[in-house]
Structure 1
């Protein structure tokens, strides 16, 4: 691929140059904007610190949404689903929390 097939996207204040076929450029830009929005929501929430952790949380949220839509496309989002997502996010927060006994590096 030539450099003319390179697309620059900005995600969470960082630029990434990505090789992409011309016919997929619009989709890539849309995906980057969506991911940037999700990561900004998480960062603004203040519970997750660090770009890598924010990216993992965004990936988990997006994947959860995708899998949920595939499993129950006819169902609208309900209070139960929101509670399940909150529970999942709490478990992820706990898993990502630094271990107070481990040395900082």
Structure 2
């Protein structure tokens, strides 16, 4: 594990991340800092805790929108492709770590709800 000191909303944090994932962590820090700065500079909210909660909600909403768009695009692609083959490494890398399992669980739940006549895949 590696420790990296970062600045978020002009406050220092010492964060730990696995070796080789430093750039992903720094990208995440930049996103959080940008989201929090935008809220603070909007002038309506000054409390750091409230800014953090609003930024987290905004980022979660963006992720949910992206996931919904990815699911819709995946469903459209599977309808256009007659046979479903194994996923390529390139396709899997479009989703963040852990999301492939969540997506698979969601598809299985949808398949159960739709029954044999309406299987997604």
Q: Does the pair score TM above 0.5?
A: yes
| Distance in 2 of aligned mates of 1:6 and 1:69 | 30
| Distance in 2 of aligned mates of 1:63 and 1:17 | 23
Specify which of 24, 27, 30 is matched with residue 33 of structure 1. 30
Specify which of 7, 11, 20 is matched with residue 10 of structure 1. 7
1:54 corresponds to which residue?
A: 51
| Distance in 1 of aligned mates of 2:49 and 2:14 | 18
Which structure 2 residues correspond to residues 70-85 of structure 1 after superposition, within 5 A? 70-73=67-70
Q: Which runs of 5+ in 2 are unaligned?
A: 74-121
User: Which of these two proteins has the greater Rg computed from alpha carbons?
Assistant: 2
Aligned residues: 72
| Distance in 1 of aligned mates of 2:54 and 2:7 | 18
Greater alpha carbon shift after TM alignment, 14-23 vs 55-64? 14-23
Q: Which runs of 5+ in 1 are unaligned?
A: 76-105
| Distance in 2 of aligned mates of 1:67 and 1:52 | 22
Q: CA deviation at 1:72?
A: 2.4
Root-mean-square deviation (Å): 1.5
TM-score (norm 2): 0.56
Q: CA deviation at 1:67?
A: 0.4
| Distance in 2 of aligned mates of 1:36 and 1:11 | 5
TM-score (norm 1): 0.64
Tell me, what secondary structure is at the counterpart of 1:46?
A: coil
1:21 corresponds to which residue?
A: 18
1:89 corresponds to which residue?
A: none
